[in-house]
Chains A and B, each alone.
Chain A
Amino acid sequence: MASVTLAGVTKTFSGLTVVHAVDLAIEEGEFMVLVGPSGCGKSTTLRMIAGLEETSGGTIRIGPRDVTRLEPRERNVAMVFQNYALYPHKTVAENLAFGLKMRGASKAQIHERVQRAAAMLKIEPLLARKPRQLSGGQMQRVALGRALVREPDIFLFDEPLSNLDAKMRVHMRDEIARLHREVGTAMIYVTHDQVEAMTLGDRICVMKDGVVQQVGRPLAVYDRPANRFVASFIGSPEMNFVDGVVAAREGRPVFQARALSVPLDGVRHAGLADGRALTLGIRPEHLERAEDGFRAEVVAVERMGAESVVLLDAGLPVRALIDRDDAVSRGDVIRLRAPPDRIHLFDQDGQALDA
């Protein structure tokens, strides 16, 4: 068990910087998720921690050891790859045993650890099979097992669930969470899926264009996104954004955007000077039906089961999440309200006002 510390970690590919001076501390036993859209540098960061990619600057520590210039095998990390990367010519048991064999473990030790990992992942009946005889979910279990038997200081996951179908993905997500509880070793997990990030992470690190945008507990990031990018990336359906200005009406601040006007009474942010250009953000799930709310016409309804996403025209396009029993249909006019404590305000650089 160990912590991981990244200090100013940078990666440049032929003059193009893809990871900008990342500072990140992952505590012992913590589950850290690096999340962001493709090309945000999350996988490169993970690969630098694994030693599969050289750093162009900064240092990486695992526990007290500076591993920045060490080979992958000297770092005592285990990694689960997106496409599993199982050795096709080896049986499941041989795949599990390979890392231990390379480290000179005794036969008895290898046997014991392989059996234990196989039991943990319920893959004992598969031990004699070759990877090509396994389903996607089974291959993923074996890949997890291969990492598990090593008993490494750190587990690294590079989008391990993205090749699985939706149902299997949810199942394996639970499995990974269970493994983390059982082994208690720090895990660093890369994904572009914010649902995976929210459900798995003790903390999440949101990245964009090689820059860390925000690090925090999932709900903290959801409740108080540091900037407009994080606000839009975390949460589904995506947050509504409306550009407008602060206006004073009868001495009270109001957010005005074309025909839409939202009272800002009770909004906790400072700096609501009259005439200031801002972006207001409100999550679809936080819009409420209210008689004194703004007027919006239903453009389309996407029924998802328990809830429905409603596309509205309020002079501007707006999305709202409503209960399935709340029967609205195309052409209906409804009134909605943005509760002040759910409103997010961003300046013109996209930074949250309370950040």
Chain B
Amino acid sequence: MRSRHDWVIWAFFWSGIALTALFVGGPVLNALWLSLHQASSFIAEPRFVGLGNYVRVVQEADFWRAMGNGVIYAVASIVLQVVIGIAFAMVLNQPFFGQRLVRGLATLPYLLPTVVVALTFQWLADGSVGLLTVLARDLGLGTIPWFEQPATARASVVLASVWLWTPFVTICVLAGLQTIPPALYEAAKVDGAGPVSRFLHVTLPQLKPVLTVVVLLRAVWMFNKFDVIWLLTRGGPLGATEHLPILAYKRAFSQFDVGGGAAVATVSFLILMTIVTIYIRLFPLEEKR
């Protein structure tokens, strides 16, 4: 009985390890190896160049611009997702008629494939008949060139990302809000706290464990996000929305510089790892309430 039980545990354990090694560890090591070689394609004979690719890419203006774009995109979309996500969650946490239905609908964008959301957003932002374009025009804002100018293109990818991933924050925060004992709010009311003080002194501190994880996950995902930007702008116009993952992809697959692309991806990985390490030091995940 006992040995059978052990067998099941080991089977799950080793199959997990094997799959991770095959589909995560393998590609990571392969990328590291590629980043130390010069190759014009994945089938070409690679030539070892040591840290040459790294030296080359970090000296290029494209790299630093992509890094700046990535930081702007990640920070802007995380801040907006968290702020709007908390606001939505607080509204959805109030009792009102049709609450369940609205809660369900609010999660919908998150459930849709990115390509569907990106295409829908493109229609909404269509230069002549898009709903957002018409709305902006009617509001007297003129015709907004959603994807044609650097500033608006940056704003557009942030907007689409916020639309797509805010529901994730909303769901997590809503779950967090539901664990806050109502008596804390009552105690705060009796203690003389108004709505803003109650938010700052009860809601926010009680949400801290949830927000710590949510911000961490969103930071990792937004920094690595590829699909939504690629589908909307392909990094344009003039590289305004090109961040490190897109730069790495373009290098490897459009410019046939596999080693350079791998070097960009590796540097991006190291930067993210540094950020995450600092973040976890500042906001330890295991802190209990």
9-residue interface stretch from B7-15, B82-90, B135-143, B200-208? B200-208
User: Which A residues lie within 8 Å of B201 (CB)?
Assistant: 87, 90, 98
Does B105 sit within 8 A of A, measured CB to CB?
no
User: Which A residues lie within 8 Å of B288 (CB)?
Assistant: 132
CB-contacts of B115-150 with A (<8 A): none
Report whether A72 and B189 are in contact in the complex, using a CB–CB cutoff of 8 Å. yes
Report whether B184 and A85 are in contact in the complex, using a CB–CB cutoff of 8 Å. yes
Report whether A73 and B289 are in contact in the complex, using a CB–CB cutoff of 8 Å. no
Report whether B181 and A102 are in contact in the complex, using a CB–CB cutoff of 8 Å. no
Question: Can you list, as one digit per residue, whether each of B243-260 has a CB less than 8 Å from chain A (1) or not (0)?
Answer: 000000000000000000
Q: Tell me the count of chain A residues lying within 8 A, CB to CB, of chain B.
A: 25
Report whether A89 and B186 are in contact in the complex, using a CB–CB cutoff of 8 Å. no
Query: With the chains together, A85 CA to B182 CA distance in Å?
Result: 9
Report whether A71 and B187 are in contact in the complex, using a CB–CB cutoff of 8 Å. no
Query: With the chains together, A89 CA to B201 CA distance in Å?
Result: 9
Does B284 sit within 8 A of A, measured CB to CB?
no
Does B193 sit within 8 A of A, measured CB to CB?
yes
Q: Which residue of chain B has its CB nearest to the CB of A89? A: B205
Does B194 sit within 8 A of A, measured CB to CB?
yes
Q: Which residue of chain B has its CB nearest to the CB of A52? A: B186
Does B104 sit within 8 A of A, measured CB to CB?
no
Does B113 sit within 8 A of A, measured CB to CB?
no
CB-contacts of A195-252 with B (<8 A): none
Query: With the chains together, A30 CA to B66 CA distance in Å?
Result: 72
Most chain B CB atoms below 10 A, which of A81, A82, A90: A81
Query: With the chains together, A73 CA to B288 CA distance in Å?
Result: 30
Report whether B187 and A87 are in contact in the complex, using a CB–CB cutoff of 8 Å. yes
User: Which B residues lie within 8 Å of A88 (CB)?
Assistant: 184, 205-206, 289
Does B61 sit within 8 A of A, measured CB to CB?
no
CB-contacts of B166-213 with A (<8 A): 181, 183-184, 186-194, 197, 201-202, 205-206, 208
Query: With the chains together, A73 CA to B204 CA distance in Å?
Result: 21
Report whether B191 and A98 are in contact in the complex, using a CB–CB cutoff of 8 Å. yes
Does A253 sit within 8 A of B, measured CB to CB?
no
Pick the contact of A81 from B183, B193, B197 — CB < 8 Å? Answer: B183
Known: A73-B189, A98-B201, A132-B288. A87 touches B184 (CB 8 A): yes
Report whether A132 and B190 are in contact in the complex, using a CB–CB cutoff of 8 Å. no
Does A281 sit within 8 A of B, measured CB to CB?
no
Most chain A CB atoms below 10 A, which of B183, B187, B194: B187
CB distance from A131 to the nearest CB of B (A): 9
CB-contacts of A38-97 with B (<8 A): 50-52, 71-73, 77-79, 81-83, 85-90
Query: With the chains together, A247 CA to B181 CA distance in Å?
Result: 59
User: Which B residues lie within 8 Å of A50 (CB)?
Assistant: 186, 190
Query: With the chains together, A102 CA to B195 CA distance in Å?
Result: 12
Q: Which residue of chain A has its CB nearest to the CB of B191? A: A99
Report whether B208 and A73 are in contact in the complex, using a CB–CB cutoff of 8 Å. no
Report whether A73 and B181 are in contact in the complex, using a CB–CB cutoff of 8 Å. no
Query: With the chains together, A221 CA to B205 CA distance in Å?
Result: 47
Pick the contact of B192 from A83, A90, A99 — CB < 8 Å? Answer: A99
For the complex of A and B, list the 4 residue pairs with the smallest distance between their C-beta atoms, beginning with the closest: A102-B192, A99-B191, A85-B183, A73-B192
Q: Which residues of A contact B (CB under 8 A)?
A: 50-52, 71-73, 77-79, 81-83, 85-90, 98-99, 102-103, 132, 146, 150
Report 26 cross-chain contacts, Cβ distance below 8 Å, ordered by A residue.
Answer: A51-B189, A52-B186, A52-B190, A72-B190, A73-B193, A77-B190, A78-B190, A79-B186, A79-B187, A83-B181, A85-B181, A85-B183, A85-B187, A87-B184, A87-B202, A88-B184, A88-B206, A88-B289, A89-B206, A89-B208, A89-B289, A90-B205, A98-B191, A102-B193, A146-B187, A150-B191
Instruction: Beyond A85-B181, A88-B206, list 18 extra A-B contacts (CB 8 Å).
Output: A50-B186, A50-B190, A52-B186, A73-B189, A73-B191, A73-B192, A73-B193, A77-B190, A81-B187, A87-B187, A87-B202, A89-B205, A89-B206, A98-B193, A98-B201, A99-B192, A102-B191, A103-B192
